[in-house]
């Protein structure tokens, strides 16, 4: 496999459920991101991991919990979500450090619906 | 605050014609990058074109080119000879200091 892969592609959950989104990158990058994409809004950065350490969380509610066990894998653990959390969650990766030109490589996204 | 504005929520173009998508941004930085990303329906977002702010020459990638006006903080995307596969959401993005800022997107429809 190549690029950035996300699973599941679609997820429906109740407000009391606990689920996780998974992202895997095969590009040898050292930074990974979670973005939330809602209609008619700019992409919202949720979390950034660079060299497996979290460097940004942008005041995301604690019902979202990221995990980055290594530079190739990123998880987003979800619990007690609200209907307004329904959105497309995008994972991306990039090569951080000297010479970083800012290009992000995205997965196809996980479409989350909270009932 | 850093912001990116795409004033055209929707655009349409006839196949084989040319269309221009607009983007303006607000920043006090002098060193940054600008991007256009394309997101086809239910598919992953991919980079279309990139522009370094220190370069005066406008970037070009095949049928895609930009009009970068640094003083005006404007970064428009021109798509020439539009094809059906160009139909997608297009996002303008700005990058500086390890931070990305995205616009709200322009939905492009290509009419056969």
Consecutive 10-residue averages of pLDDT for chain B (112 residues):
89 98 92 94 92 91 96 96 97 86 95 96
CB–CB contact B101 A42 (8 Å): yes
Structure tokens at B99: 């931070």
Nearest CB neighbour to B44, from listed A55, A101, A108: A108
Q: What are the CA-CA distances from residue B21 to residues A1, A109, A110, B49 (Å)?
A: 33, 24, 27, 13
The rounded distance, in Å, linking the Cα atoms of B4 and A47 is 20
pLDDT, mean of residues A85-108 = 85
pLDDT higher at A82 or A1: A82
- Residue A76: per-residue pLDDT: 97
Interface with A, mutate which of B2, B9, B45 (most A CBs under 10 A): B45
Looking at residue B58, the DSSP 8-state letter turns out to be: P
Q: Which residue of B has its CA nearest to A39?
A: B104
Share of chain A above pLDDT 70, in %: 94
Span A24-79, pLDDT tens digits: 999 999 899 999 999 888 899 999 998 778 877 778 999 999 999 999 999 999 99
- Residue A113: per-residue pLDDT: 95
- Residue A54: per-residue pLDDT: 82
- Residue B42: per-residue pLDDT: 84
pLDDT at A1 over 60: no
Show residues of chain A in contact with B50, CB under 8 Å.
Answer: 101-103
Rounded to a whole number of angstroms, the CA Rg of chain B reads: 13
The rounded distance, in Å, linking the Cα atoms of B12 and A15 is 39
Nearest CB neighbour to A106, from listed B42, B44, B95: B44
- Residue A97: per-residue pLDDT: 62
CB–CB contact B44 A103 (8 Å): no
- Residue A19: per-residue pLDDT: 94
Q: Are B96 and B4 in contact (CB under 8 A)?
A: no
Q: Are B66 and B55 in contact (CB under 8 A)?
A: no
Q: Residue A16: exposed, middle, or buried by beta-carbon count in 10 A (0-12, 13-18, 19+)? A: exposed
Q: What is the mean pLDDT of chain A?
A: 90
pLDDT higher at A59 or A23: A23
Residue B90 distance to chain A (closest CA, Å): 12
The rounded distance, in Å, linking the Cα atoms of A74 and A6 is 9
CB–CB contact B98 A4 (8 Å): no
pLDDT at A98 over 60: no
């Amino acid at each position: 496999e190549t690029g950035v892969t996300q699973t599941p592609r679609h997820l429906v959950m109740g407000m009391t459920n606990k689920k996780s989104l998974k992202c895997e990158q095969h590009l040898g990058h050292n930074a990974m991101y979670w973005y939330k994409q809602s209609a008619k809004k700019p992409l919202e950065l949720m979390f950034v991991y660079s060299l497996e350490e979290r460097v940004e969380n942008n005041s995301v509610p604690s019902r979202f919990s990221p995990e980055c066990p290594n530079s190739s894998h990123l998880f987003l653990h979800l619990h007690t979500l609200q209907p307004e959390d329904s959105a497309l969650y995008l994972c991306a990766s990039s090569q951080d450090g000297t010479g970083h030109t800012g290009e992000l490589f995205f997965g196809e996204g996980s479409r989350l619906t909270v009932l | 605050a850093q912001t990116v504005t795409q004033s055209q929520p929707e655009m349409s173009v006839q196949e084989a014609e040319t269309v221009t998508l607009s983007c303006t941004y607000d920043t006090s930085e002098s060193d940054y990058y600008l991007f256009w990303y394309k997101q086809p329906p239910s598919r992953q977002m991919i980079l279309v074109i990139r522009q370094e702010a220190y370069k005066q020459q406008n970037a070009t990638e095949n049928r895609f080119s930009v009009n970068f006006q640094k003083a005006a903080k404007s970064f428009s995307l021109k798509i020439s000879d539009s094809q059906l596969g160009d139909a997608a959401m297009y996002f303008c993005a700005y990058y500086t200091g390890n931070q990305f800022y995205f616009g709200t997107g322009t939905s492009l429809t290509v009419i056969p």
